[in-house]
Amino acid sequence: MLKIELPQIPSSAWQCEIGKQWANPYTTRYASNLDDGPNHGMPLGGFGGGCIGRGVNGDFNLWHIDGGNHTFKTLPACQFSVFEQIEGETPQVYAMSTTPPEDVSLSSWAWYPEGKGTYSALYPRSWFDYQGVFKSHIICEQFSPIWAGSYQEASYPLATFQWTVHNPTDKEITISIMLSWQNVVGWFTNAIKSPDVKVRDDGSPEYEYQPRLGDSTGNLNQLITDNFRVGFLFDRIRMGEQPSESEGQWSIASVTNPAFEVFYHGRWNPQGDGSQLWDHFANNGTLGDHQDETPAKPGEQIASAMTIRFTVKPGKTKKIPFILAWDFPITEFAQGIEYYRRYTDFFGRNGKNAWSMVRTALKHHDMWRDRIIQWQTPILQRPDLPDWFKMALFNELYLLSQGCSLWTAATENDPVGQFAVTECIDYRWYESLDVRLYGSFGMILLWPRLDKSIMEAFSKAIPKSDDTPRIIGYNRAKAIRKAKGATPHDLGAPNEHPWEKTNYTSYQDCNLWKDLGCDFVLQVYRDYLFTGSRDQHFLWECWDSVVETVHYVKAFDLDGDSIPENSGAPDQTFDDWKLKGISAYCGALWIASLEAAIAIGNILADNPPMDPAFQSDDYPHDIKNAIATFSQWLNQSRAIYHDTLWNGEYYRLDSETDTDVVMADQLSGQFYAQILGLPNVVEKEYVKSTLAKVYDACYLKFHDGKFGIANGLKPDGSPMKADDTHPLEVWTGINYGIVAFMIINDMKDEGMQIAETVVKQVYENGLQFRTPEAITSVGTFRVTHYLRAMAIWAIYHVLS
């Protein structure tokens, strides 16, 4: 007989006590920024199909079911509960959350005590290890089928909860595990169909999102028995076969066999005291086997529950899976703009396939778990990588499901669909290009086809224009939305039409930014190199836009020295920090991007296009002309960059601001040149001197290195201005990028010390699974669920 063992939780998984209460968690810096508190756990669900979150207290509390939108609310009736009884003893029965409802609902239920066991997470797996309450040793392992290189299973909107129960006593133990679920079909769509865009206190645009929480009219629950599968299907009365955004299904399910008893209750009131369920369940681990498919009346709420009861003999172990699946096949952006989700390529598009997902999950979940382990094990077994790094490396990938991600169904032009992740939930627009300069390393290393699809979307957007006028939040000036030839800042927002209507953000006029075009060229060349240097078709897709955007950026060179000048307004990724003249940051990116553009051009000059769409009578002369122009600009830029900005220890912030501030990320362009094998922007001796100064002034002298690298400080560690914003913040993703830069320049020990500092600030202060862009020395953060933190994969890349 197959021996069942308790799950082995990796030593590198993040861990805290179940129901942990943080004494002094980080709090938000601005009143308008999102702060849902520290009760966050690993998200469940694949990429782009919606996800849910289960907090460290056991609540299901985060609902990203409507594409691009965020709802954080505990639904107490959505819950696991456990009954345990040893013969002759009083049963122990708990709902497996440590937090009772704040209202009077479910008042008959008993709730699991705080601190009795541990919560662990190593994305995409997490564990509740319950200890000190039950006589049994009980572990719930939860995961979704996500692993590197999966372009199918990673899109599935489902989760497996593998319960394992070990009996360490000398008596038989009866266990019953109940999964209850409220019917929330129809809740997750915006009730405001034409939301007005407003500007909030930090100058960024936002729109109102009002989900239809509680709108359950017409919802119904159906018991399903299907061979060895049993569960409930949650649906809604529909007017037609074609579903709308909010129409679809949820399903909960498990398995049955002669060793398991199944009990159920098909329709109960989650707003009542819960005694309809609890009186049965707490007595003997059963339910009343009540079926009722009556649709909910206006104002009525309904839920279902199922329980699996079994006996565990002394010294033995049993395990049983539960599946949660949801099928909402359509994402609607602006009214009438609808896309099918990627998973519909495999399960159909009528919104009636939740049970098909259940059947697939019950058949394949063990294999999926093995694939996750096979992917992670080579990294987890590396002795040169510390556990804190392995933990954060995997856990920071949470954003690919929780970051309001979109993943559309495949088309002829997009064979793996279109993918996008928001910059963050506060700044709810997609794939901010400056942020993904560092933040996209996880995607290009693990799901490269998706990363390339994003760069192709930017390429298609560069030649387009949008002359719609709007007010710029930073200075209240007027500007057009998108200039022809400008690389857009982002691929749009969920209240409009992502991919087609770009440059949503209006805090700054991003048509004036000096880094975006450079970022585009560097990421195109990186994606080509990182995928084997064979995909010339990808380069041809992007080439015309490379040429156009390089010329667009060059137009900001007003004095003819071949380096575009910053304007004295915040016109780059540090968009609250003014640079003027030639800047170290943008100048280095410009030089590196010219090298990348020339490298791309040389590849294409040697590889004629196979696609007729790219063939030209001028080939290869038009490419060689572009290379010649770029080479001329490059030589002129190189001749002045170092001499203009070098001060003997590091590079000055810019050529026209009278300050000795040390900008931490000043040589980002040099970092990219090194990882792409391009000629150095500056000589190695200047790189090492600069990094040593950054380490000393911006890390060691910034509160004795307790927080990480601040963006910009004077050589003695003091601020330019006491009330500075971005210069005095520690940006998590920028820190990880600089650490990678340090490692490839012989500062591995210093770099890993910084990375560990930042990781611990996040994971020891209630910021897990909502990593912010910025933290401060006074225990505040700015904007959580931030894309740039996936830059930790840049560290892994250079270490490998």
Instruction: Measure CA 90 to chain center.
Output: 45
Average pLDDT estimate for 25-37: 94
Please compute, for residue 461, the number of CA atoms within 13 A of its CA located in the half-sphere on the CB side.
30
Torsions phi, psi for 736 (to 5 deg): -65, -35
pLDDT of the residue at 581: 98
The C-alpha angle 738, 741, 743, rounded to 5 degrees, equals 115
Under 8 Å CB-to-CB from 698, ≥6 apart: which residues? 662, 664, 709, 710, 711, 712, 713, 717
Average pLDDT estimate for 115-119: 98
Q: What is the pLDDT of residues 206-227, one digit of tens each?
A: 898 999 999 999 999 999 999 9
Q: How far is Cα 613 from Cα 634, in angstroms, rounded to an integer? A: 30
Say if residues 112 and 84 touch (Cβ distance below 8 Å). Answer: no
Q: Give the chain's radius of gyration (CA, Å).
A: 27
Instruction: Measure CA 771 to chain center.
Output: 9
| Structure confidence at residue 651 as a pLDDT band (50, 70, 90) | very high
What three-state secondary structure class fits 758? Answer: helix
Average pLDDT estimate for 2-18: 91
Q: How far is Cα 676 from Cα 669, in angstroms, rounded to an integer? A: 11
On the question of pLDDT at 743 being above 50, the answer is yes
Instruction: Measure CA 385 to chain center.
Output: 23
Please compute, for residue 549, the number of CA atoms within 13 A of its CA located in the half-sphere on the CB side.
35
Q: Which two tokens stand for residue 620?
A: 């290869």
pLDDT of the residue at 198: 83
Q: Which helix (H) or strand (E) holds 95?
A: strand 92-95
Say if residues 144 and 126 touch (Cβ distance below 8 Å). Answer: no
| Structure confidence at residue 682 as a pLDDT band (50, 70, 90) | very high
Parallel/antiparallel/unpaired status of strands 303-312 and 261-268:
antiparallel
Say if residues 651 and 664 touch (Cβ distance below 8 Å). Answer: no
| Greatest alpha-carbon span in the chain | 90
Q: What is the pTM of this model?
A: 0.97
pLDDT of the residue at 2: 58
Q: Please report, rounded to a whole number, the percentage of residues in the chain having pLDDT higher than 90.
A: 94
Exposure string for 657-680, b = 16+ CB within 10 A, e = fewer? beeebbbbbbbbbbbbbbbbebee
Q: What is the pLDDT of residues 415-446, one digit of tens each?
A: 999 999 999 999 999 999 999 999 999 999 99
Q: Which two tokens stand for residue 495?
A: 């209240």
Q: Which two tokens stand for residue 531?
A: 């995928």
Q: How far is Cα 652 from Cα 681, in angstroms, rounded to an integer? A: 15
Q: Which of 428, 422, 419 lies closest to 446 in space, CA to CA?
A: 419
pLDDT of the residue at 179: 98
What three-state secondary structure class fits 400? Answer: helix
Average pLDDT estimate for 272-295: 97
Q: Which two tokens stand for residue 27?
A: 């709090």
Parallel/antiparallel/unpaired status of strands 158-166 and 197-199:
unpaired
pLDDT of the residue at 483: 98
Average pLDDT estimate for 648-671: 98
Say if residues 726 and 710 touch (Cβ distance below 8 Å). Answer: no
pLDDT of the residue at 250: 98
On the question of pLDDT at 194 being above 90, the answer is no
| Structure confidence at residue 286 as a pLDDT band (50, 70, 90) | very high
Q: What is the pLDDT of residues 513-524, one digit of tens each?
A: 999 999 999 999
The chain-wide mean pLDDT, for the chain, equals 96
Q: Which of 531, 512, 511, 534 lies closest to 523 in space, CA to CA?
A: 531
Q: What is the pLDDT of residues 362-398, one digit of tens each?
A: 999 999 999 999 999 999 999 999 999 999 999 999 9
What three-state secondary structure class fits 696? Answer: helix
- Other Cβ atoms closer than 10 A to 317: 17
On the question of pLDDT at 689 being above 60, the answer is yes
Q: Where are the alpha helices (DSSP H) in 351-508?
A: 354-380, 387-395, 399-402, 433-439, 441-446, 448-461
Give the type of residue at 738: I
Does the N-terminal peptide bond of residue 620 adopt cis geometry, omega within 30 degrees of 0? yes
Give the type of residue at 580: K
Q: What is the pLDDT of residues 476-485, one digit of tens each?
A: 999 999 999 9
Q: Which of 92, 93, 99 lies closest to 41 in space, CA to CA?
A: 99
| Structure confidence at residue 100 as a pLDDT band (50, 70, 90) | very high
Average pLDDT estimate for 485-500: 97
On the question of pLDDT at 1 being above 60, the answer is no
pLDDT of the residue at 109: 98
| Structure confidence at residue 697 as a pLDDT band (50, 70, 90) | very high
Q: Please report, rounded to a whole number, the percentage of residues in the chain having pLDDT higher than 70.
A: 100
Average pLDDT estimate for 274-296: 97
On the question of pLDDT at 229 being above 90, the answer is yes
First to last CA, the chain: 42
pLDDT of the residue at 199: 81
> Higher confidence at residue 468 or residue 5?
468
Beta bridge partners of 358: none
